[in-house]
Amino acid sequence: MNIAVQRLNERESAGLIAHFLALPAEDRRLRFGSSLSFEGIAAYVDRIDFERDTVFVIHDDCLALVGVAHVAFGDDLAELGLSVLPPYRGHGVGGALFERAAAHARNRFIPRLFMHCLAENAPVMRIARRYGMDVVTDFGDADAHLALPRATAASITGEFVTDQFALYDHALKAHTAAWRRINAALHVAVAAPDRCGRLLS
């Protein structure tokens, strides 16, 4: 099954904050090393350099962010941070984000992908091992490295096609969400939530 992975731009950073705050406190601790408050999350998002780095996201049908990959670029490596909301784990979201991030780093001629996390972060550790990363643990922390193949014309074209699919998927979800809002407005007498949790009246 293809999962659409879209690039996030700086104008949509409020959704990024909402995603991180939707993570349970323990998941935030595993993602960031401590269970950040709203202020800490907002500061983290504010520090993202969208000109240098790339943020990939997966939306649900209501356009909420259910999975996020932050790819921070250095001179010879790309560092990847992953988060997926609990109800969406085990459905390929984390793997789709990892693959998209690795392809993007490869096509920017970066030779290595790197992940740092707490060794107890089982979901991220599973992803690292599934994709053949070299994992080293030390004093409760884990570092994982993956050598990336050289970019080719096929890999660059493949990334372009993937981006086009993601744009189409997002447009479809946006139109569907708009249709639901219009439909809800036309049925104001029905006091029940729609699929996105909004009251129909």
The closest alpha carbon to 16, from 73, 54, 55, 53, belongs to 55
pLDDT tens digits, the chain, 201 residues: what are they?
578 999 998 888 999 999 999 999 999 999 998 888 899 999 999 999 999 999 999 999 888 999 999 999 998 999 999 999 999 999 999 999 999 999 999 999 999 999 999 999 999 999 999 999 999 998 889 999 999 999 999 999 999 999 898 888 888 888 887 887 787 777 765 555 666 665 554
Each residue's pLDDT tens digit, 56-91: 999 998 889 999 999 999 989 999 999 999 999 999
Model pTM score: 0.86
Name the architecture of domain 6-166: 3-Layer(aba) Sandwich (3.40)
In the chain, where are the structural domains located? 6-166
**What are the distances in angstroms from CA 196 to CA 61, 76, 107, 112?**
8, 42, 36, 39
Q: β-pairing, 112-118 with 134-138?
A: unpaired
Q: What is the pLDDT of residues 148-160, one digit of tens each?
A: 999 999 999 999 9
| Amino acid letter, residue 155 | S
E strand or H helix at 98, and its extent? helix 93-107
